[in-house]
């Protein structure tokens, strides 16, 4: 099961992943994980990131790239 695909999420291009989350919805392999990095009690978290944790299962179907309104996802195919 060698990785053939590298998925990258570019933070600068995706300002509010928590309000969009379209890449998470369309992914057939559930590659992405949405994480709040500054969650505190009695405070709405503001800093959210998307981690392509399960890029191992990415089939490079490009659904996330096509649906992303900000071009924030890049998929690189590595030659094994």
Partner 1 sequence: MCKFCYKHGEGKRWYLNERNLSVKLAKELGYEQWELDHWKLIDKVYGDAAKMLADVINDPSLLEPTKKMIESMIQKDEGRDRVFPEGHMGQVITLEEAKKIVEIAGDVYRVMCPCRRMNRNEKVYTCMPLGLHGETVEGYVDHAPRGVERLTVEEAKEFLDECDEKGLVHTIAGTPLPLAFAMCNCSYPECIALRPRIDFDIKHFLKGHYVADVDIDKCIGCGKCVVRCQFGAINLRVTLGKAYINQFKCFGCGVCRAGCPENAITLIPRESIPALREVW
Q: Which of 10, 11, 12, 34 binds partner 1 (CB under 8 A)?
A: 34
DSSP assignments along 7-71, one per residue: EEE-GGG-S-HHHH-HHHHH-TT---EEEESS-BTTB----EEEE-TTGGG-----HHHHH-TT-
We find the least distance from the C-beta atom of residue 59 to partner 1, in angstroms, to be: 14
Total residues at interface with partner 1 (CB under 8 A): 30
Which helix (H) or strand (E) covers residue 6, if one does? strand 5-9
We find the least distance from the C-beta atom of residue 58 to partner 1, in angstroms, to be: 10
We find the least distance from the C-beta atom of residue 68 to partner 1, in angstroms, to be: 13
Q: Which of 51, 62, 66, 74 binds partner 1 (CB under 8 A)?
A: 51
């Amino acid at each position: 099961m060698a990785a053939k695909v590298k998925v990258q999420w570019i933070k600068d291009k995706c300002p509010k992943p928590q309000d969009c989350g379209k890449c998470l919805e369309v992914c057939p392999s559930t590659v992405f994980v949405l994480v709040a990095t500054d969650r505190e009690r009695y405070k709405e978290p503001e800093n959210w990131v998307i981690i392509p944790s399960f890029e191992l299962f990415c089939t490079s179907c490009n659904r996330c790239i096509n649906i992303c309104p900000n071009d924030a996802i890049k998929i690189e195919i590595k030659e094994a």
